[in-house]
Structure formats: C-alpha cells, structure tokens
Amino acid sequence: EDQVTQSPEALRLQEGESSSLNCSYTVSGLRGLFWYRQDPGKGPEFLFTLYSAGEEKEKERLKATLTKKESFLHITAPKPEDSATYLCAVQDTSGTYKYIFGTGTRLKVLA
C-alpha cells in the first residue's frame, strides 16, 4: 500500500535560519512526487512536481530534491511569509491520478 510520511510534524525557525523538511514514501511505482503549500483555511497550492531520482526544482527560497525513497524541501533564509503547512503527495502508476498525501509539516518562521 502506498504510504507517505513527513517529518518533522512542526518546525519553528528564526527568519533567515535555513532548514529542510523530509518526505519519505513507499509506492509500487512512482509517477510523480508533489509538494504543496497550504495556508490556514485554504486549499493546498501547488509548488513542485518531481518525477525521477536526482531531480531538483527551485522556486524563490524553496528547493525540492528527490531520491528513490524520499524527498527534501530545503528552505533557504526563510521569511515569515513562508509560514504554512507543507504537504507532500505521491502519485503511483496505477492508472488513476489520485494523490496519497502525507500529514504535512507545519512551518512557523519568526521575525
């Protein structure tokens, strides 16, 4: 059964203090790994898709990387506006396009 585990559950950083969020996954065949950002009371917002081990994607202060078993979301010099819950999801090769989501990492960046 497909499974996605995110760590840590919550993370508090000072502004400018870089860190990484982890997403480990178990899937029979990986079609894609997705990162989303979710603000309180809102729907998740798409950030990145990673398809194969070794792939990297960047957007502003965020950089996502992928290995065969896990993905990392690196946050460089974060700002308070980066505070949100970051969700990781996988899509398998079963022929549907459903996601299996992790439970997320709640990030709080303090000014």
How crowded is residue 57: how many other Cβ atoms within 10 Å of its Cβ? 16
- Choice between 75 and 90, CB closer to other proteins: 90
Q: For residue 78, state whether it binds other proteins (rule: CB under 8 A).
A: no
- Choice between 53 and 77, CB closer to other proteins: 53
Q: For residue 99, state whether it binds other proteins (rule: CB under 8 A).
A: yes
Alpha-carbon span 106 to 82, nearest angstrom? 11
> For other proteins, which stretch binds (CB under 8 A), given 16-24, 41-49, 61-69, 73-81?
41-49
Sign of CA dihedral 40, 41, 47, 49: positive
Given 44, 65, 90, 105, the residue binding other proteins (CB under 8 A): 44
* 86 contacts 105 by C-beta, under 8 angstroms: yes
> Of 108, 109, 107, 110, whose CA–CA distance to 35 is shortest?
107
For residue 44, is the peptide bond before it cis, meaning its omega torsion is within 30 degrees of 0?
no
Q: For residue 11, state whether it binds other proteins (rule: CB under 8 A).
A: no
- The binding site for other proteins (CB under 8 A) comprises 31-32, 34, 36, 41-49, 57, 87, 89, 91, 94, 96-104
